[in-house]
A = this chain, B = another copy of it.
Amino acid sequence: MNELEKYIQTYFGVDKDDLTKISSFFYPITLKKGDYFLKKGMYADRLGFVQSGILREFVFVEDREVTKWISTKGYFVVDLSSFVFQQTARWNIQALTDCELYVIDRKDYQKIGQVIPRWTELEKLFIAKCFTVLEDRVLQHLSMTAEERYLQLFNFNRELFNLVPLQYLASMLGMTPETLSRLRKKMVN
């Protein structure tokens, strides 16, 4: 059983037979560092599962890049609004390192519901879970200082700081690279 199947089993509680059916829709691709999985303005016609490597979701706001999320092994990468509503993508998704992804095309994704009747329900639960994660994130910005947000991420996912250029983490945390640099220094001392 590969990582994708493990993940789907863990989060969706699908049994082995169905797992095989689902994962057979996926196919592997690789991305080189710097490649785009999705560009803002395009249509997200596929969903990716990160087998290895790191990607970041970002957008330009007045010529400045704002990173919304960093995806590592075990994450799905997609622009949900584009994939679900067939609108143009709001986010760029770019490989920060060479990546291996398992990818499913939108038209195949829609077949899953025919294979697994409960799929729409599982999707709903998954998206609801994602919603609560974003709720927490909003709350963090409403109630925490830059320092507290940094500490929270650092304690939750320490290795990220060794894998990802700090400027992107700073942006994801809602602060400048300089501020992050100073917070890190402060914590060491």
Q: Which residues of A does B touch, CB under 8 Å?
A: 59, 61, 64, 66-68, 80-81, 84-85, 90, 120-121, 123-125, 127-132, 134-135, 137-139, 141-143, 171-172, 174
Contacts and interface: CB of A to CB of B under 8 A. Distances in A.
A61 B143 contact: yes
Contacts of A81: 128, 132, 135
A79 to B, nearest CB: 9
Given A61-B139, A61-B143, A68-B138, 17 more contacts: A64-B143, A66-B143, A67-B142, A80-B132, A81-B132, A84-B125, A85-B125, A123-B124, A124-B124, A124-B127, A127-B127, A127-B128, A130-B131, A134-B135, A141-B141, A141-B174, A142-B174
Question: Oligomeric state, in number of copies?
Answer: 2
B124 A172 contact: no
B131 A127 contact: yes
A59 B142 CA distance: 11
Contacts of A128: 80-81, 84-85, 127
26 contacts: A59-B139, A61-B139, A61-B143, A64-B143, A66-B142, A68-B135, A68-B138, A68-B139, A68-B142, A80-B128, A80-B132, A81-B132, A81-B135, A84-B125, A85-B125, A90-B135, A120-B120, A120-B121, A124-B127, A127-B128, A127-B131, A130-B131, A137-B138, A138-B138, A141-B141, A141-B174
